[in-house]
Amino acid sequence: MRVVIQRVNHAQVDIDGKTVGKIGKGFLLLVGIKNGDELPVIKKAADKIAKMRIFEDEEGKTNLSLKDVNGEILSVSQFTLMANTKKGNRPSFVDAMRPPRSKELWEDFNQELENDGFHVETGEFGADMQVSLENDGPFTIVLDLWRKNETAKVDNILRKI
């Protein structure tokens, strides 16, 4: 699973000119589900995001969480985050989990965030969406959650580069 976390002043998702999700201050989450991901990975990601302290306190230090600032979440499913660009010029998306399971896990992820007390707006799974936002900072984090054996493979590849 890969989640791009963007701290925003506001963000929205439109489909065919109609706004389907809109938030004020909070996180825009671009969510990619990988083949092999299951509920424990989804729960871990939601928990990590819920506790992430990337908002500034009165001293300008990133000590505040989304809950501390009464922030909202806009969650957008984005299979292209799983792109493999190692070979050629055309990305491969074979590592991205296919529907319907990927949709179920994305919905589970959003539900976990709601269970943590957050207001969660969403895009529409599989739709052609226009996402607009105002980055705050900008402050963007890429959260990668892989199974342990996959992490070891990635580390070995990186050592060879």
Residues carrying an active site annotation: 78-80
In whole angstroms, what separates CA 143 from the centre of its chain?
8
Cα angle 141-10-18, degrees, rounded to a multiple of 5: 115
Of 134, 122, 103, which is closest to residue 21 (Cα–Cα)? 122
Of 20, 16, 26, which is closest to residue 133 (Cα–Cα)? 26
- Count Cα neighbours of 128 within 13 Å in the Cβ-side half-sphere: 2
Torsion (CA) 113, 114, 119, 125 in degrees, nearest 10: 70
